[in-house]
Amino acid sequence: ARILVSGANGFLASWIVGDLLRKGYSVRAAVREKAKGRNLLKMYEEYGRKLELSLVNDMNTEGAFDDAVKGVQGIIHTASPVHLDASHPKGKITMIDPAVNGQLAMLTSAMKHGSSVQRIIITSSCAAILDTVPDPTKDSATVSELNWNMRPVEQCEKLNSHATGLDMYSASKTLAEKAAWDFVDANKSTISWDLTMLNPPWIFGPVKHEVSSLASLNSSCKMWADAVLNGDLGGYPDPLHFPGHGWVDVRDVSEAHVRALTVPAAGGERIIVCAGAFVWQDFSVIFPVDSANALLPAPAMSLAKGTLGTVHRAITFDTAKERRILGIDYKTMTDSTQDILTDYVARGWC
Ligand code: NDP
């Protein structure tokens, strides 16, 4: 089968493309410019013509994916702006519009021109499920796929809004996911495929996409490196309590996308894909600073070793649905950390 992957040159999708090829799929990798596909073609050279590029230079327009969807059996849509830098009102244009319209353009193209498409997987986010808890030392919550993160949407819709970059990103994911489910609902008599949403929390892991330095890493990996390697908590006041959210290794999220293509029960579902809760300190506690010292030429992780078990984990993501439908065997924080550091050392980044 041939699978279309959008945002193919990104952090997550670069892993997905490799996993699909390894499992025998052909892949049509949608990127904005030819140059952005070069790294993929080189990295997966051994697969020859099983990997092809498709140029979708502006997904914000209807018809953007008309050619890309032709002749594919599945679509994995990861493309979406991912950063926390665009606050109100700029974020409406740079984040929300491309996230929502890009998804709708893909779904519309699949409806009109994707006669062989059987399943569409969209990478949503836990940002569409749960707001960042304002103070994890006081607030805690167990959340499931039944929850929707509406506060940032309301925040972004208010006039004179104080919506932050995180609000804009979260609103873009909530609005895009809702728009996709509404699209499916409105067109169910016409479409031949079904839809699966995967909702990961913060994704960390070694990188495969084209990136030249720690400073130019994708947003989530950069936050990990800033916090764990450089002690820069990006505004979060203390590493023992923040961010108190969920995390998952990129390789497990990739595997979830590939499994979701073929598991019948995944159709029509939104599924949280989460390895567990974390605070920044966990990465130093679980992967002892001594081991980091042995691995890194210099200097070691900058977060001091904390005390395991004293942190208050604010959010528990209910992963019962994921276990029932996909059954991912999650990487541990130790494995993930070890692999990230090994990757960064090999690249000469630390
Ligand atoms: P990256 O920034 O590494 O990749 C994003 C991809 O989307 C890139 O290929 C990028 O293309 C493309 N993209 C961004 N904006 C646009 C646009 N306006 N038009 C077309 N393409 C665009 O991010 P990740 O790999 O981390 O994220 C992939 C998906 O996973 C996203 O949907 C994100 O919301 C979701 N996600 C990520 C999490 C994380 O912690 N990383 C957590 C939960 C969900 P280009 O290179 O050309 O800019």
The ipTM value here is: 0.99
Is pLDDT of 134 > 60?
no
Question: By residue range, what is the domain housing residue 289?
Answer: 212-247+276-350
Residue 238 counted as domain residue = yes
Q: List, for residues 241-251, the tens digit of each pLDDT value.
A: 778 889 999 99
pLDDT confidence of 22, banded at 50, 70, 90?
A: very high
pLDDT confidence of 284, banded at 50, 70, 90?
A: confident
Is pLDDT of 159 > 70?
no
pLDDT at 304: 64
Residue 329 counted as domain residue = yes
Residue 288 counted as domain residue = yes
Total structural domains within the chain: 1
Residue 56 counted as domain residue = no
Lowest mean pLDDT among 213-227, 230-244, 248-262: 230-244
pLDDT at 290: 64
Q: What is the mean pLDDT of the chain?
A: 90
Mean pLDDT of 276-288: 79
pLDDT at 213: 95
Residues in the chain, overall count? 350
Tell which phi-psi region holds residue 348, choosing left (phi > 0), alpha (psi between -120 and 50) or beta: left
Mean pLDDT of 306-313: 58
pLDDT at 88: 80
Residues with CB under 6 A from ligand 1: 7, 9-13, 32, 36, 59, 78-82, 98, 102, 123, 125, 173, 200, 202-203, 218, 220
pLDDT at 240: 75
Q: What is the dihedral of CA 84, 277, 322, 261, to 10 degrees?
A: 40
Q: Which of 80, 92, 197 should be mutated for ligand 1, with most atoms under 8 A from CB?
A: 80
Residue 96 counted as domain residue = no
Residue 60 counted as domain residue = no
Residue 146 counted as domain residue = no
Tokens 């528990």 belong to which residue?
316
Burial call 328-348: b when 16+ CB within 10 Å, e when fewer: bebbebeebbbbbbeebeeee
Residue 243 counted as domain residue = yes
